[in-house]
Each structure stands twice: as structure tokens, then as C-alpha cells.
A and B are shown apart, each in its own frame.
Chain A
């Protein structure tokens, strides 16, 4: 069965760039979405289909996907970006598989 890997945590200083990787076999061939979830709240879609931002999501959020790794990049990190981030892949085989999540901590 297909599996996704994410680091447990990523730490970043305010104003710096955070990169959250999502690993999977030949992930570049799949649609990848990214979600942000803050404690006690429902998740929020921040990127869909690798690098498309929904309305209202800042340009500071961007995505890339190549080989076996998709990456969510958060530029000019703010305190409000501290949250759990989940990747999700979608194709006919994996359906809506989520990664285990990465806690982004703003130091």
C-alpha cells in the first residue's frame, strides 16, 4: 500500500522560510494538497494540486513536487503560521491518503 512520510516537526524563526517535505514513491505523478490545522480548529486548505492557492491564502505559501518529495514552503514565517501541516495525495489508487502531519513551530 502507498505510504506518505512527513517529519514530526519543523522549527523556524519568524521572518525565515519553513520547508515541510512530504515523501512518497513517485509522488510527482500524483495530485498533492496541503492543509493547515491549528489546535481546536478544522483544517484549512492552503495549497491544492501542488501549488495552487485557494482564495484568501497568502502568496507566502507555495508548493513544489518532484521525484519522491513534495514540499510546502512558507516564506517570511509569522507567529500565526504555527500549526500542524498535512499533505494529501490523490489518485485512483491512493484515494485521499493523508500524511502523518508536521508540527511547524515558530521560535
Chain B
């Protein structure tokens, strides 16, 4: 079964850091643009960040610019999100997703993980 599996979430105090990981299972991340999308409890979807298949294009939502860093390691078939200076409002379920057209950044997210919950609270 083709899956994206997130890990690394948890409870963290405001101002601290956390690193999310996403590994492909039966799915090769190489040659695919990848993104992180989050959903706060009971709220809608928010795109967080994306990285093109060859890492030459990286974008962030204004809400996380300067605090979060997206990266990928195709040798490990993995995607990462380094989250620094976390705020209460960053509390959400974080999904790892891939573009339906691998080489086309932002073509639509057809593969979703089950999410990793990040809770920022003192």
C-alpha cells in the first residue's frame, strides 16, 4: 500500500523547536514535489510549505516564514519540517502531501499521510 507516514509530533512549550519527518512507504518521494499542510483542531486546511522535486523551489506561508524550514533527503525517501520558535497558534495536525504531477509544483495534492499532531502549550 502506498503511504506517507509522518512522525515527530508531540507536546512542546512555546518558543521551543520540533522536527517533523515524513517517510514514503511504497512511494518514492524522489521526482515528486512535496508539501506540508496543517489543520488546527476543528478548523480548515492551511498550506504551510512546499519543496519542488529537485529542491530548487521552496515556499512558505507567511505565518511560518522565518521560523520553519522544509527539506528533503531522497536517499532516505524522506521529507522534513524543522519548526522553530513555536507558537500556540501552530497547534495542529500536520499532513505530509505530494503533488499529483510530480514535477509540477502545486498541481494538486493527491497523496496525504494520516498526520502528526503538534501541540504547543505551556
Contacts and interface: CB of A to CB of B under 8 A. Distances in A.
Contacts of A31: 106-108
Given A43-B112, A54-B100, A96 B107 contact: no
A33 B108 contact: yes
A45 B100 contact: yes
Given A42-B95, A95-B59, A96-B35, A101 B45 contact: yes
Contacts of B46: 98
Contacts of B59: 95-96
Interface-centre pick from A52, A95, A96, A99 (highest chain B CB count, 10 A): A96
Contacts of B100: 45, 48, 54
A96 B44 CA distance: 13
B47 A88 contact: yes
Contacts of B115: 42
* Size bin of chain B's contact surface: 20 to 34
B99 to A, nearest CB: 9
B109 A33 contact: yes
Q: Chain A, interface size: which category?
A: 20 to 34
Contacts of A35: 45, 109
A90 interface: yes
Contacts of B35: 96
B95 A98 contact: no
A100 interface: yes
B24 interface: no
A98 B108 CA distance: 11
Interface string B46-78: 110010000000010110000000000000000
Contacts of A49: 107-108
B113 A98 contact: no
Nearest to A101: B44
Contacts of B85: none
A52 B112 CA distance: 18
Nearest to B111: A45
6 contacts: A42-B113, A42-B115, A45-B110, A54-B100, A90-B106, A95-B59
